[in-house]
Amino acid sequence: MKFNRYPVNGFYDELITSGRRARTSAGRLLQCLKKMDQADLQQRKEAAELAIKTMGITFTVYSEGENIDREWPYDIIPRIIPLREWQRIEKGLEQRLTALNHFIDDIYNDQKILKDKVVPASLLKTSSNYRKECQGMKPVFGVWAHICGSDLIRDRDGTIYVLEDNLRVPSGVSYMLENRKVTKRVFPELFEDYNILPMGDYPSHLLDTLSAISPRPMDYPEAVVLTPGIFNSAYFEHAFLAQQMGAELVEGSDLIVGDDDCVYMKTIEGLSRIDVIYRRIDDLFIDPEVFNPDSVLGVPGLMRAWKQGNVALANAPGAGVADDKVVYTYVPEMIRYYLDEDAIIPNVPSFSCADEKQRKHVLANLDKLVVKPANESGGYGMLIGPQSSGRQRTEMARRIKASPRNYIAQPVITLSTVPTICDNSIEPRHVDLRPFTLQSDRTYVTAGGLTRVALVKGSLVVNSSQGGGSKDTWVVGPEK
Amino acid sequence: MLSRVAERMYWFGRYLERMENTSRLVNVNANLLLDLPWVIRHVWDSLINISGSADIFFEKYENAGERNVIRFLLADESYSGSLICSIRMMRENVRTTREIMPSEAWEQINEFYLYARSDVQKALRRKGRHEFLDDTISFCHQITGLLAGCMSHGEAYNFIRIGRNLERADMTTRIVDVGCMNLLTGKEDIPETYDNILWMNVLRSITAYQMYRQHVQDRVNGEDVVEFLMKDVTFPRAVAHCLGELGQCVSQLPRNDHPLRSMTRVQRMISEMDVPKLFENNLHDFIDQLQVELADIHGQVAQTWFDYGPPVQEQNGQTQTQLQK
């Protein structure tokens, strides 16, 4: 395959400079690709597809009636990040999650940051992820968000921004791990040449993180993964993580809260006590006694058990208060306020529609901005100005005026690209990056993350539920 | 181990065994057909009788000819006992408990599921049938072997074995039952050679022919065959052997009083069984009773390990019943 006609103009490509030279660490990969002809490439692509099929790596799309399982979309050309650049990102992510946890703990206790007027108190009243039931709780180490998936993007000048912090039930880490396995099957020779940081130890770090927050001091606390069940879009991941950690994968109906306010699971030996729950169910569904009374996914009494300190929940209920796109705009201030540091990774400049002046600007420039609902994930309900129709913009303007607090807007960031296999050629496609950060008594960041790629030409939407694919991500150290 | 997971392992074991049994049954009878041109109708509808689903079958199909019976047993998505449904349910039980089995097993199960879905139609025609059924049987052995070699022989594995052996014992009793019915009812118009061939066929349906031959030197005859399939403790598909396996598994599990008691009762029933006498008149009633007892073991297993517990209102067994049916 030749790269001399690869169109790099205008975008930042992760592997190729604007002068069409290989970036740091990308040389050998590109050389290897150059040596391959169309047939070779096709063969490797098919090998990858077969591997994904037989490994049963699937994801689920909500709207697809009967056929709920789809094979995971994956592109064989990896994205490369040089170790030095990665080390800075890693620090930035640690810093950010530390500040976010300070913020959540503060919000549910003294609310100093509101009293000091660094963050407006009105924000809390209108946040749909603020849980008054959590007021006064003090989870161990002051950590509420134990698992965070941050979305990073790179603009055309090469700057990396944090686009979102996912603090509720971030998903994708299993695909990150499986992508690596598939790439090893497809390009074994490159793993010999390159010094690629391994990432396979994530599940054991996750188990350590969970064990550390157990309310009972013991060597092997009983940790479980709580899933909404087989029909959830991330069920594959829930099962995967449980298996990798050697933890039970439980559904709500497997758990019972006893009269002693402790949580038990139903086993063949009888009831057995649980210490830590990695819950992959949204706050509002975890306990029908406290939140949504119709929920059949949750466990009646779970909040009671948590508040009594008899069970640890990861992430803690209410952690989502910091995972709100309006709160997001204050994260750099939080970092300064709690840590007295400047943010290592900047935020994307954002306009908050709650502010009248900013809202006017947004409404006047809908065709140039990206508008996002404050509390949605998965790319739902978003408007990408330059690619929108007049009708879509009118509709969005109506919604913004109806509830300004629920919307923020950002300039369009032209996401960086990575060479991607398209029908008969290799073309640039836009990508983002979701690394995962774990925090309890220690902090751990995955080496790399899940690179998501918008497979449609020119598209900036990378969500797998909306036609996105994925790539393996290599953090590459100095050559051997 | 979670009750829900135990239950799924149990059903996984049953469905895997059912796949193998169904494949073998169809394969052997397709072969028999070549030997016995005059008995065509007879053979195919006896398969429906063995499956115990004549009612469902005749609701959907006019006659029990080869084409209909094969479609019903192998490819009918709406009949829960068909091969394709067994494969789907087997996979579904594993898919929801992936963390329990070695991941290789899941890969192979998933791969086979995809193959079966795309190729089961080939088995409807005589030409591709043998190959597809052979593949299915090999797959069952491959998975059984993989689990025997790579999965800890702990509780989860025990539940798979319980499922397998109950299903197997059930199948053997059905085959014996139908075998006897065919022969006993039409006694006067079946020449002795064919009597012989039919009993051999009963044995072949559960791969028992060779083992029987080693065990019984006399020519193949009904009484010896039934004696062998019911009481032999070494042949894996004989009812006595299945019960022995069950006993082993159950005794390793916690809180096993009730299942154990109900099993011991069946074991006694088999060991006290007087084959020559039953052969004279009510073998069929005896087997009916035996099947009721096997169903009781299932009930005890389910009540002890799957559906027990304090009376919790929210427990709804819906997803579970869907998986079983």
Mean pLDDT of A295-299: 89
Measure the CA–CA gap between A325 and A346, rounded to whole angstroms. Answer: 15
Same domain, residue pair B26 and B129: yes
Collect all residues of chain A within an 8 Å Cβ-Cβ radius of residue B312: 256
Whether omega before A375 lies within 30 degrees of 0, making that bond cis, reads: no
Q: Do A230 and B95 touch (CB under 8 A)?
A: yes
* pLDDT for residue B188: 55
B303 to chain A, closest Cα gap in Å: 11
Question: For the segment B5-18, what is each residue's pLDDT rounded down to a tens digit?
Answer: 999 999 999 999 99
As separate numbers, helices (DSSP H) first and strands (DSSP E) second, chain A gives 15, 22
| Chain B residues near residue A240 by CB distance under 8 angstroms | 98-99
pLDDT of residue A229: 87
- Do B299 and B174 share a structural domain? yes
pLDDT digits 0-9 by tens, B130-164: 999 999 999 999 999 999 999 999 999 999 999 99
User: Is B217 contained in some domain?
Assistant: yes
The percentage of residues in chain A with a pLDDT greater than 70, rounded to a whole number, is: 97
CB-CB under 8 Å, A296 with B314: yes
pLDDT in tens, B278-302: 888 788 899 989 999 999 999 999 9
Q: How far is CA A103 from CA A330, A336, A388, in A?
A: 10, 11, 36
Q: Tell me how many residue pairs between chain A and chain B have CB atoms under 8 A apart.
A: 73
Distance from CA of B114 to the nearest CA of A (A): 9
Rounded percentage of chain B residues whose pLDDT exceeds 70 = 87
Q: Is the model's pLDDT at B245 over the cut of 70? A: yes
- A112-141 in b/e burial notation, b at 16+ Cβ within 10 A? ebbeeeebeeebbeebebbbebbeebebee
Select from A54, A230, A267 the Cβ nearest to the Cβ of B1.
A267
pLDDT beyond 60 at A465: yes
- HEC per residue, chain B: CEHHHHHHHHHHHHHHHHHHHHHHHHHHHHHHHHHCHHHHHHHHHHHHHHHCCHHHHHHHCCCCCHHHHHHHHHHCCCCCCCHHHHHHHHHHHHHCCCCCCCHHHHHHHHHHHHHHHHHHHHHHCHHHHHHHHHHHHHHHHHHHHHHHHHCCCCHHHHHHHHHHHHHHHHHHHHHHHHHHHHHHHCHHHCCHHHHHHHHHHHHHHCCCHHHHHHHCCCCCCHHHHHHHHHHCCCCCCCHHHHHHHHHHHHHCCCCCHHHHHHHHHHHHHHHCCCHHHHHHCCHHHHHHHHHHHHHHHHHHHHHHHHCCCCCCCCCCCHHHHHHHC
Same domain, B163 and B268: yes
Is the pLDDT score of B277 beyond 50?
yes
Chain A residue with minimal CA distance to B316? A253
pLDDT of residue B309: 59
At A106 the pLDDT is: 97
Contacts of B96 in chain A (CB under 8 A): 230, 239
pLDDT for res A282 = 93
As given in the structure block, the two tokens for residue B156 are: 């989860």
Query: Does B179 or A189 have the greater pLDDT score?
Result: A189
Q: Count of domains in chain B? A: 2
Give me the residue from A268, A270, A300 closest to B253, CB to CB: A268
Which of B118, B151, B184 lies at the terminal end of a domain, its last residue?
B151
- Nearest CB among B97, B110, B315 relative to A253 is that of B315
B177 plus B225 within the same structural domain: yes
In order of A376, A408, B34, the CA distances from A380 in angstroms are 6, 14, 62
Does B184 lie in the same domain as B245?
yes
Q: What is the pLDDT of residue A228?
A: 93
CATH number of A351-411: 3.30.1490.270
Q: Which residues of chain B does A300 touch, with a Cβ-Cβ cutoff of 8 Å? A: 314
Q: Quick one: pLDDT at residue B37?
A: 54
Residue B316 lies in a domain: no
> How confident is the model at residue A61, as a pLDDT?
65
The residues on A that touch B, with CB distances below 8 Å, are 53-56, 229-230, 239-240, 242-243, 247-251, 253-254, 256, 265-271, 296, 300
Q: Is the pLDDT of residue A56 over 80?
A: no
Q: Is B112 found in the same domain as B61? A: yes
Q: Considering only alpha carbons, which residue of chain B is nearest residue A232?
A: B96
Percent of chain A at pLDDT exceeding 90: 67
What is the predicted pLDDT for the residue at A158?
Answer: 93
**Encoded tokens for A148:** 């965070």
Biggest CA–CA distance in chain B, Å, is 62
Residue A334: its pLDDT value, please? 96
Are B124 and B269 contained in the same domain? no
**pLDDT for A14-31, tens place per residue?**
999 988 899 988 999 999
Chain-chain contact of A269 with B315 (C-beta, under 8 angstroms): no
Average pLDDT over residues B243-264: 95
Q: What is the pLDDT of residue A214?
A: 96
Contact (CB<8Å) A248/B2: yes
Q: How would residue A68 be classed by pLDDT, with cut points 50, 70 and 90?
A: low
Please indicate, yes or no, whether residues B103 and B178 belong to a single structural domain of this protein. Answer: no
The residue segments making up the domain with residue B32 are: 1-151
Residues B294 and B198 in one domain: yes
- State whether B124 and B205 are in the same domain: no
pLDDT above 90 (res B229): yes
Given pLDDT bands bounded at 50, 70 and 90, which one contains residue B318? Answer: very low
| Statement to judge: residues B238 and B280 lie in one domain | yes
Q: Confidence class of residue B183 from pLDDT cuts 50, 70 and 90?
A: low
Integer Cα distance of A346 and A159 in angstroms: 9
Q: Which residue from A243, A268, A300 is facing B99, i.e. has the nearest CB?
A: A243
Residues of B whose CB is below 8 A from A248 = 2, 5, 99
Q: What pLDDT score does B182 carry?
A: 66
Let me know if residue B195 belongs to a domain: yes
Report the alpha-carbon distance of residue A418 to residue A78 in Å, rounded: 8
Cβ of A251 and B95 within 8 Å? no
pTM of the model: 0.78
pLDDT of residue A67: 47
Over 70: is that where the pLDDT of B20 sits? yes
Last residue of a domain, one of B106, B133, B151: B151
A248 to chain B nearest CA, in Å?
Answer: 8
B265 domain-assigned: yes
Q: What pLDDT, on a 0 to 100 scale, did the predictor assign at position B317?
A: 36
Residue A246 in this model has a pLDDT that exceeds 80: yes
Q: Rounded mean pLDDT of B39-47?
A: 67
> Residue B186 above 60 pLDDT?
no
- Where exactly are the structural domains of chain A? 351-411
Q: What pLDDT, in 10s, does the model give residues A311-351?
A: 999 999 999 999 888 899 999 999 999 999 999 999 999 99
Shortest Cα distance from A270 to chain B (angstroms)? 8
B99 and A250 within 8 Å at the Cβ level: the answer is no
For residue A295, is pLDDT > 90?
no
- Structural contact between residues A45 and A73, judged by C-beta atoms closer than 8 angstroms: no
B128, B151, B174 — which closes off a domain? Answer: B151
Using pLDDT thresholds of 50, 70 and 90, give the confidence band for residue B190: low
List of residues 6+ apart from B299 with CB closer than 8 A: B262
Q: Name the closest residue on chain A to residue B318, using Cα atoms.
A: A253
Written as six digits, the tokens of A88 are: 């800075």
pLDDT digits (tens, 9 = 90+) for A255-277: 999 999 999 999 999 889 999 99
The pLDDT assigned to A377 comes to 61
pLDDT-based confidence at residue B36 (cuts at 50, 70, 90): low
Do the Cβ atoms of A239 and B309 come within 8 Å?
Answer: no
Residue B64 lies in a domain: yes
pLDDT at B184 > cutoff 60: no
User: Residue B319: is its pLDDT beyond 50?
Assistant: no
Best probe of the B interface among A266, A292, A296, by most B CBs < 10 A, is: A266
Q: Is the pLDDT of residue B222 over 90?
A: no
CB contact under 8 A, A55 and B107: yes
* Inside any domain, residue B321: no
| pLDDT at site A64 | 46
pLDDT at B313: 34
Do B26 and B125 belong together in one domain? yes
**What whole-number distance in Å separates Cα of residue B270 and Cα of residue B290?**
9
What is the identity of the amino acid at A25?
A: S
Q: Predicted confidence band at B178 (pLDDT cuts at 50, 70, 90)?
A: confident
What is the rounded average pLDDT for all residues in chain A? 90
Phi-psi region of B236 (alpha: psi -120 to 50; beta: other; left: phi over 0): alpha
- Per-position DSSP letters for A209-270, written without gaps between them: HHHHT-SS--SS--EEEEE--TTSTTHHHHHHHHHHHT-EEEEGGGEEE-TTS-EEEEETTE
Of B4, B114, B305, the CB nearest to A254: B4
Q: Which of B99, B106, B108, B142 to probe by mutation at the A interface, max A CB count within 10 Å?
A: B99
